[in-house]
Each structure stands twice: as C-alpha cells, then as structure tokens.
Structure 1
C-alpha cells in the first residue's frame, strides 16, 4: 500500500493545452519560486527525437504510463530536495494523467488511483481557463479547440473528484497572473 503523504506547499498549476501555464510558471520562477516542469512536453520532445512510441498520437497507453511515472518521480524528487517549506509550483501533476486517461477512454489503474488518494498536494489547485486568443498548436500541442475545452472541463472534474478545490486564474498578463497565485499562497 502507498503511504499517505501531504505536502501543503506543493501547488499545482494546471489547465488544458496552450492556456499560458508555462508563461505563468516562468514568471513565478523569475521571482525566485521553485518550479517543477511539465513532464508531458518533455516526454513528447524526447519521443520525437528518438522516434519513440510513447506519444499521444502513436501509443496512448504507453504515453499515459510514462507520463504518470515521470510525474510521480517529480513528486518524489521535489520531496527529496527539501523544497517543502516554501511554495513549490508544479506544471501539472500525476492527477493530470488520470484526466488524460478519462479523455482517451483508458482505465485508471489501482496504482494510479492509490497515488491520487494518498500523495497529496495543497488542496487549492490553480487552473488556467481556455483562452482562444492565445491558443496555438505546435509540434507537441496538436489538440483542436474542442479538445482544449473538453480537457478543461475534465481537469476540473478530476481535481474536484479527488478533493481539490480548483481556483480559476484570470485571463490576463503573466505578471498579474503570478500576483494572483502568490496572493493565494502567501508567498
């Protein structure tokens, strides 16, 4: 059984693709806040460079599993680094993988379920809403606008299901968004 862990200073910043998460996290990092990068884009980039199969448009199940494993590893590594006394901002979390599983109609394993229930982040999760004016596709981000909207809805449902409160970050510039997040965290 997975032991219970609670890290009230591990904050998640999430949302659908192309909503400004990376820009917000860069702003937070520029202000001296520890940031844990997103695993999905890293994984996609690596798989593209090595002609790998763990891609959402090749092998969704393998992609899901690798994304989950790396997200858990990020949690453990952040814990080991001792970054648990001041706010640490995660660009997504392993709960995003559970949302992805639902989006593709894939099963959520008992292991994934157990981690979601036992390894906890701060109960407030910052979610960035769909923002069509800034949304762009690229080599790693191929979702159409309907998928962006559905992802946002499912993301909120997933986090709420596991007892998290989603706080919608306003559609505005990165500086104002960072101020909004830091106000909630007291950082």
Structure 2
C-alpha cells in the first residue's frame, strides 16, 4: 500500500470536461482511472437496457460503487505517487440524492472509508456541454447534479478546488501546478 500516494479525484456534473482533462493528464504520463459509469452503461446497452440508471438506479449505483472501490484498491497496489480518478465514490450517492432514490447506508459508509487527498471540481460550462448515448443530461440537469456533488463532498469534509475555465492544456496545467504546491 502506498502511504504517501496522493489520490486525486475529478468531480463535476456531466459534460464539464473532466474526462478530456483526465486524458490530457494521461498524455503527460500521469496514472489515471477512467470513469466507471460509461463501461457499466455500455454493458447494459449490450443487454438491451438503454439507460440502466433510469430503469434500475440502485443496481446501476451498486455496480458503480463496486467499480470505484475496486479502482481505489487497485490504485493502492501501484507504485504511483499520484493517481487520478474520473469521479469518486461519493459521486454515487450524490447522484442517488439528485434522483431522490433511497439507498442503504453502505453508499455513505464506503465514501467515508475510502478518502481522496485532493478534489478538483469542474463547474458546468455551457460552451463545452454535449450529450451522447451515455451522457443524456441537459445542461440544466448538469448544474443541478453538480450542486448535489458539491454538497456530498462538502459534507464529507473535503476542501474542493474549482478548476477555472480554459483550454484543455490550461486546465490540466492548473491541476499539475496545484499539485506542485502540495508535493
């Protein structure tokens, strides 16, 4: 287990640029875990379920929780000092709260058990917001979800660092420069 490893999570509503910046960080040779929900959604679509989150939100969220917990544990097995995550464990119950779905306490318990060192927040940005087969939320829904994400992480005691709008490189460099101060 990496005691000095920094686990850094990128949060924000759908379509805010997290994955694009994560890919830029990968290009700069940082170790990154991709978003789990796209894989879960695509797997369900292969079985004929168009939007698993909308039809079975608790099952979808359980699968996300398991996937994100597995990522966290796999990060600890690496020799990387810095690990980035495209969304974190608290995102799961934040989304359930947004959709007013009841869920067992394990969702919050896991969020308390697996802590991240730094949380970078991507604000909703209409200029770059798009939808696709896995991301169906409107810009207005992205704003609302973003509020639930901020609330969930804040309630867990995280200090949230908001990434300024800018090019992909500017945003990635902002993160890297912020880490330089913390290393």
Q: Same fold (TM over 0.5)?
A: yes
Q: Moved runs in structure 1, 4+ residues, more than 6 A? A: none
Are the counterparts in 2 of residues 47 and 53 from structure 1 also a CA contact under 8 Å?
yes
Tell me whether 1:79 sits opposite 2:76 in the alignment: yes
- Runs of 5+ in structure 2 lacking a partner? none
Are the counterparts in 1 of residues 58 and 103 from structure 2 also a CA contact under 8 Å?
no
1:52-71, aligned counterparts within 5 Å? Answer: 52=49, 55-71=52-68
Aligned counterpart for 1:117 among listed residues 112, 123, 133? 112
Structure 1 counterpart SS, 2:54: coil
Q: Which position in structure 2 is the counterpart of 1:136?
A: 130
Q: TM-score, normalised by structure 1?
A: 0.89
Tell me whether 1:50 sits opposite 2:47 in the alignment: yes
Question: Shift in Å at residue 110 of structure 1?
Answer: 2.2
Question: Shift in Å at residue 180 of structure 1?
Answer: 0.5
Question: Shift in Å at residue 79 of structure 1?
Answer: 1.3
Tell me whether 1:158 sits opposite 2:155 in the alignment: no
- Runs of 5+ in structure 1 lacking a partner? none
2:35 and 2:78 map into 1 onto residues whose CA distance is 17
Tell me whether 1:40 sits opposite 2:45 in the alignment: no
The root-mean-square deviation of aligned C-alpha atoms, in Å, is 1.9
Aligned counterpart for 2:89 among listed residues 88, 91, 94? 94
Question: Shift in Å at residue 131 of structure 1?
Answer: 0.6
Tell me whether 1:167 sits opposite 2:164 in the alignment: no
Count of matched residue pairs: 180
Structure 1 counterpart SS, 2:55: coil
2:78 and 2:130 map into 1 onto residues whose CA distance is 34
Are the counterparts in 1 of residues 45 and 51 from structure 2 also a CA contact under 8 Å?
no
1:92 and 1:118 map into 2 onto residues whose CA distance is 16
1:26 and 1:143 map into 2 onto residues whose CA distance is 22
